[in-house]
Amino acid sequence: MSFSDASTDGAHLSEAMINNYLNPTGYSEYTLYMQGAYCSAANSSYSSDQELLNDVSWQRWRYYHYGMVWWWGHGSQTEAYIGYDDCPPLWSPRIIESGDAAALNDNYPSHVYQCSCLNGYPENSNNLGTALLYNGAITTTSASRVSWYAVTRWETSLKYYCDNASIGYYYGRELVANRKEASKALFDVKSDMGANMNEDSDRGGDSWMNLFDFNLYGDPAASMVISAVSSCPDCPASGMITNVTYATGTNCSCSNGASIVLGSNVKVEGGATVTFTAPTVTLSPGFHAENGSTVNIN
């Protein structure tokens, strides 16, 4: 997360994502913010896991596995950049460029949101949004032309200004918190923004431009799923099940010749499938199945 100007720190975007829906749904994060190395004015008030410097972002991505990669910076058709005029010069150093994609681990492709200008320029077959699809990403969401940011401390309340960071925040929320497919997540966010746009005379044209030029490339049906656990809880001989979580990604079964009682603190997370087979299965008030889970009772 770069600064776009001396008063606009992209770290506000990622901190809101982390606190409001990533950590609460079980995701951890690795952050890279500007912390004064290039100029004292670009020193985030938030600490980060590593300072955002030339090449560190894509090198980190190269060696570690991420479900989501979100950035904020200035951009061109094939690159995203750190900083702004005089801190450092606008076109150097870089967050990532098209040529870096070849080094990423395509066995673990990420959802990518590119909060920068021109990265999805369709007339250039090597645009950054497309290059990442060939290696490193399962979806990319990028701007086909210039994108516009709000010159201020970014907050979730800016939603209906339809700035580029707000599109990224709410798109990520639909992917993570509401478990939507990428295409539906982006469509729903942009539809809501378009219907409720703040028609401030200074923002209207820029806002509509953002809504039209941020496009999803890649697999429209791809969604976010927390990694599956390696085993399922035991099916107890007594038939009473308590204090068990069937985690997202698991496909578990519990079969018992006696009755099964699902007691206190039994949870089936969204994305988990559980099958209970018994003469009778009793659901107590302590049983909870999240939206998106599958529970079969035979």
Domains of the chain, start order: 3-218 (3.40.50.1460), 240-297 (no CATH)
pLDDT in tens, 10-41: 999 999 999 999 998 888 899 999 999 999 99
280 phi/psi in degrees, rounded to 5: -140, 145
Under-50 pLDDT residues of the chain: 201, 227-229
pLDDT in tens, 140-159: 999 999 999 999 999 999 99
249 CB contacts (<8 Å, ≥6 apart)?
Answer: 225, 226, 227, 228, 229, 271, 272
Map tokens 């993570």 to a residue: 176
Structure tokens at 201: 């005379």
How far are the Cα atoms of 237, 268, 297 from residue 261, in angstroms, in the given order?
11, 15, 12
Cβ-count burial 45-74 (b if 16+ within 10 Å, e if not)? eeebeebbeeeebbeebeeeebbbbbbbbb
Cα–Cα nearest to 146, from 112, 170, 121: 121
Look up the pTM and report it.
0.77
